[in-house]
Structure 1
Amino acid sequence: MTMQYACAVGDLAPEEARLVELTGPDGAPVPVAVIRDADGEFHALSDLCSHGAVSLSDGEVEGCLVECWLHGSQFDVRTGKPVQLPAVKPVPVYPVTVDGEDVLVDIDTTLAPA
């Protein structure tokens, strides 16, 4: 497991998302949506909607859901599972660790949908 710095805790308010580009195992940039849910917990998932290649970090966050701004698909930020059509495929979710004021993400590992 290789944790990478994604952002500072203070960079995101509850129910806010931010796009970060982390370095994949092959050295290529990987777009990741770092999301702080309504309870203040941090989550990281692929920034690309599984229905269309649209940035999820540009969507609205409500509770533990992020909405794709283009077609209205919603994903549970804890599992990556779609909860609103038209998306039917989950998006990858990555482990997050908060270390002091740093939000760290491991894109080498994906969490299985619950």
Structure 2
Amino acid sequence: MIQCPKCKSDSVYTKNTARKIAGKIGTAAGAIGGAKASYTGVQIGMKVGVIAGPGGPVIGGISGAIIGALLGAATGGTTGAAVGKTIDEKVLDNYLCNSCGYEFSTCA
């Protein structure tokens, strides 16, 4: 349990500012990268969709693009959050005491 070094209170809040910001940036970047990389998914989806009939290639292509963007967003968000967590822990004063308002880090 983390205690405030100033007032010794146990009522400490973790801000996670960098984790939140980096996670959002990573999600956006991952979605854009995933959408660009989904061109292969579109091609595969269209080929597989031919089996389903006339509308199959369109539906398969759209599905491939959506899946590529979602996978990219998930990967980017996870990576961004991990980078942000490291910044929170090593660089920023990530903790806020709810009792006295003191901001501090656990790093010495």
TM-score normalized by the length of structure 2: 0.23
Give the structure with the larger helix fraction: 2
Give the structure with the larger strand fraction: 1
Q: Give the structure, 1 or 2, with the largest relative contact order (CA under 8 Å, sep 6 or more).
A: 2
For the pair shown, which has the larger CA radius of gyration, 1 or 2? Answer: 2
